[in-house]
Structures are given as structure tokens and as C-alpha cells.
Amino acid sequence: MIARPRKVRLVTGIIATVFVVIFTVVAVLLRNTPTGVFFHTSDQVAMAGIGVLLACGALWFTRPKVTADAEGVNVRNLLGTTHFSWDVVESVSFPNGASWARLELPDDEYVPIMALQSMDGERAVTGIRELRRLLKEAKQRSHQG
């Protein structure tokens, strides 16, 4: 099972494109300003570079991903990837009002699953159901063995 957020990827793609286009247009028009300030080519390149950096920052929000199989689940959020074997996962939940799902761990700890977001509606529901099915199968195997 592999899941990634869909709507966030669409929105951030549009935002990233807008950043690049706007900052590129500003960079091209920078030499023709009536302010009396003289801009160099390096200023134009820097302005376009700022647009690219902002676009990269926006695209960073497309990073979340969750992959799961019979052995466990890998959760990749904004700052890192963590692997959890099914024996440490107590449940998969989606609390009321939450933006994304989470893995419930022992001692009241949890890990957000930013790849399964409420904005994605039925896709998130399908992802939660698949994770719960894999967790249930892993629990059944551990009780049998």
C-alpha cells in the first residue's frame, strides 16, 4: 500500500508555478524600472532564484508518503521517515477534526500520517481502511505464531 496526499500536491504545484512565473517576470522587468535605481544582471538572476527557492519550499509539502506491507509501515512526513513494525502499532486512527491520520503507539504516543489528509476525502478513507486491514492481518499472524 502506498499513499500520498493528492489535493496538497495539486495546490502546491500551482503555487510553486506562480512563484517561479512572478519572480521571473519581475526579474525580466527589473532593468526597466523608472525608480532611477540601476539593477545588474546578478540582481535579475537573484530575483529569479528567490522564486525558485520559494517554489521549492512550497513543493516541500508534497513530501509526505506512507507505505505499508505485511512487515510494517513507513511514514514519511516533512522532516523524516520512520519505520514501524506492526507489533508496536496499536491502531490507526483519524480523530474528529484532525487534518490527517495517525498511528497510535504504546504509552499514549502517536505519529501523524500526513499522507492521509482529510482534504482528500475518500482517498484518505481508503488509505485508512487498507492500513487497518494490514494491521489486523499482522495482529492475527502474531497471535497464531
Residue-wise pLDDT for 88-123, tens only, equals 999 999 999 999 999 999 999 999 999 999 999 999
Maximal C-alpha separation, the chain: 80
Q: Judge if 75 and 121 occupy the same domain.
A: yes
34-44 core/surface letters (b: 16 or more CB in 10 A; e: else): eeeeebeeeeb
What's residue 19's pLDDT? 97
Kindly tell me if the per-residue pLDDT of 35 is higher than 90.
no
Q: Judge if 52 and 103 occupy the same domain.
A: no
What's residue 29's pLDDT? 86
Residue ending a domain, choose from 61, 81, 103: 61
When pLDDT is cut at 50, 70 and 90, the band that residue 18 belongs to is very high
Kindly tell me if the per-residue pLDDT of 32 is higher than 80.
no
Beta bridge partners of 112: 102
State which residues form the domain around 19. 2-61
